[in-house]
Structure 1
Amino acid sequence: MRALRTHETGGPETLKLDEIDAPTPSKGQVLVDVKACAINYPDTLMIRDLYQFRPERPYSPGGEISGVVEAVGEGVDGFEVGDRVMAGIGNGGLCEKVCVDAGRMFKVPDGVSFEKAASLLMTYGTTIHGLKDRGHIKEGDTVLVLGAAGGVGLSAVELSKAFGARVVAAVSSEEKGEVARQAGADEVVIYPKEDMDKAASKELANAFKAACAPDGANIVYDIVGGQYSEPALRSIAWEGRFLVVGFPAGIAKMPLNLTLLKSCDIAGVFWGAFTAREPVKFHAQVNELFDLLQAGKIDPLVSETFPLERGGDAIAKLENRQAVGKIVVTMD
């Protein structure tokens, strides 16, 4: 089978398309004929050895897949050959076949494409956990979403609206702003792509405050980090929740005096660890996502697909912050 793998530390240009033997499922595992693999920000970090986990090389990046069950290992109940499935696997998805622990798999709902199925778990899973467990979202809240036109950002817009919140989408261009509006955002703020000095940072903070008026953002959903985090924190409401989700723009150094002045919380959202520590709640939230999907309240936006041999280009596009919605690699 074909597998796009990393053999050395480096960027997406170092990935190589290899021909390797197909794996055999062990006890409790299922062999999946992969149809689609969504690209996510951890993929850009992992191949550069910048992520929390460093798998032993060579391995395939890609932590979110969908496909068809090809073989079932000993002791597996609930899955049969031919089932359409989806799974979050951490890494190993950019290949034609992969063995998956049955406990991390879900059947793809009827009528959902493989591309959309591969785009649901990590983005919407991260966000439903972040908004509900870490942000304690409630109807009537105002949610400020940074990076609102990417895969995770759009999931935050859609889920916040589904939970009855008002959404302010922060993006880097008018084009991305329109994508956020189509997903349900009530207000859009365009932030600069170039480095901001103190005056520009204050101006952005004022723009966030104006959009989040009258009381500020009850929840800040920060997928971007860097120079954008502090202006967002300055727009937070009394006893607001600032959720740290990712930092493609860099790790922010936050003035902690603001947390005292606003009596607010800064909370991390580490979905991968959550799924391992609380599998029962994780499965319940995925089932809730399926209900929202079938009700038409969420709908993953797949903006572009790439063939397996161009998987490195897909990762590069996400790494360069050019992606709108989800980018997916397909095996056919």
Structure 2
Amino acid sequence: MRAYQISKSGGEPALVDIAVPAPAAGEVLIRIAACGLNFADLLIAKGKYQDMPPFPATLGLELAGTVAALGEGVTGLAAGDRVAVYAGHGGLAEWGCFPAARCLPVPDAMTMTEAAGFQIAYGTSHLALDHAARLKPGETLLVTGAAGGVGLTAVELGRLMGARVIACARGAQKLEAARAAGAHEVIDSDHPDLRGALKAMGGAEVVYDTIGGPLFRPCLSACRPGGRYLLIGFAGGEVQQIPANHLLVKNISVIGLYWGGYLAFDPATLTGSLAQLMDWHAAGKLRPHVSHVMPLADVAEAMEILRARRSTGKIVITM
């Protein structure tokens, strides 16, 4: 089988031929249909992610496929079941063995392409907005990187949860994608006076920041007194320093959100969040946006599209 692997920290990922694995106790063997790409894949490839897998590592945090075989002790699943898995690694391959406990049934109404990129993007946004920030109907939500795989779901969910949504992204095409996802107002991240423009829009009770770096200061200034600032990622390439005196004066809370971390310390909250999201999808309230569907042979090109932030919504690799 083919797999997109990195052999050592700092090495270059490459497609390699390896043996199809056999499931250990508590695992299932999955014939992988599709794998969603995430910014974390770029960090793992550089050896800079906070949760690095052992080497050699097959990239790909989340996937969807069909159960092919069961390891010892596995119950509740059967060969042929359609499942989605948040694995942390191993998704960019034709086959893989994953813990049965991580398998989420894929409903008939959801395609494998949608399922492969659903959990992290929607899960991150829902946990952040609902559980961490306690977003309320009528509040204003500011989303940076609003046309990216995660940012677009924050726009969509913010609108669904009754917030007024301001989407911040770069360029007319991305701003239009954010507006189509439900944003009430949009603003270009290259605005010459972003701080002033955001304040003129009235600021926000909740900021959902996937970019960080140069956008952090103007977005923090736009956070209203008593606001909540969600740190989701640093796609801008810079981990910013936080001026604690601003937090004190304006009574602002800064909240970090690492979705995968909930599996270790609060899995019930994560599971409940995913159940709510699946219900909303089944009711037609969510419309997953996949801008690029590419074959495994083109995964290096897909990673470059992700790195250059040339996509709107998710990039999904099919096997």
TM-score range with shorter-chain normalisation?
A: over 0.9
Q: CA deviation at 1:70?
A: 0.4
Q: Of residues 186, 196, 199 in structure 2, which corresponds to 1:206?
A: 196
- Segments ≥4 residues shifted beyond 3 Å: 8-11
Please tell me whether the aligned partners of residues 158 and 297 of structure 1 are also in contact (alpha carbons under 8 angstroms).
no
2:229 alignment partner, one of 233, 242, 257: 242
Q: Which secondary structure does the structure 1 equivalent of 2:261 belong to? A: helix
Alignment of 1:212-291 (within 5 A): 213=202, 216-249=203-236, 250-291=238-279
Q: Which residue of 2 aligns with 1:197?
A: none
Given that residues 109 and 282 in structure 2 are in contact (C-alpha distance below 8 angstroms), is that contact kept between their aligned partners in structure 1?
A: no
Q: What is the alpha-carbon distance in structure 2 between the residues aligned to residue 77 and residue 159 of structure 1?
A: 34
For 1:164, the aligned partner's letter is: G
CA contact (8 A) 1:36 1:67 kept: yes
Structure 2 partner of 1:3: 3
RMSD: 1.3
What's 2:110 paired with? Answer: 112
- For structure 2, the 5+ residue unaligned runs are none
Which residue in 2 is equivalent to 1:294? 282
Shift of residue 268, structure 1, vs aligned partner: 0.3
Q: Does 1:327 align with 2:315?
A: yes
List aligned pairs for 1:46-65, cutoff 5 A. Answer: 46-65=44-63
Equivalence map 1:33-44=2 (5 Å): 33-44=31-42
| Matched residue SS, 1:151 | coil
SS of the residue 1:24 aligns to: coil
**In 1: Cα distance, 2:300 partner to 2:55 partner:** 16
Residues 162-217 of structure 1 deviation map (CA, whole Å, 9 limit, x = unaligned): 11111000001111000000000000010119xxxxxx4xx211111222x2xx21
Q: Do 1:219 and 1:241's aligned partners in 2 also have CA atoms closer than 8 Å?
A: yes
Match of residue 131, structure 1, among 129, 146, 150: 129
Shift of 1:10: 4.0
Q: How many correspondences in the alignment?
A: 318
Q: Distance in 2 between matches of 1:187 and 1:70?
A: 47
Quote the offset at 1:56 in angstroms: 2.1
Question: How far apart, CA to CA, are the structure 2 residues paired with 1:165 and 1:77?
Answer: 41
Per-residue deviation, residues 212-256 of structure 1 (Å, max 9, x unmatched): x2xx21100000010001100000111100000000111112322
**TM (normalized to structure 1)?**
0.93
Alignment deviations for residues 256-313 of structure 1 (CA, whole Å, 9 cap, x no partner):
2221221110110011111222112211111100011112221211111111121121
Structure 2 SS opposite 1:233: helix
- Matched residue type, 1:286: L
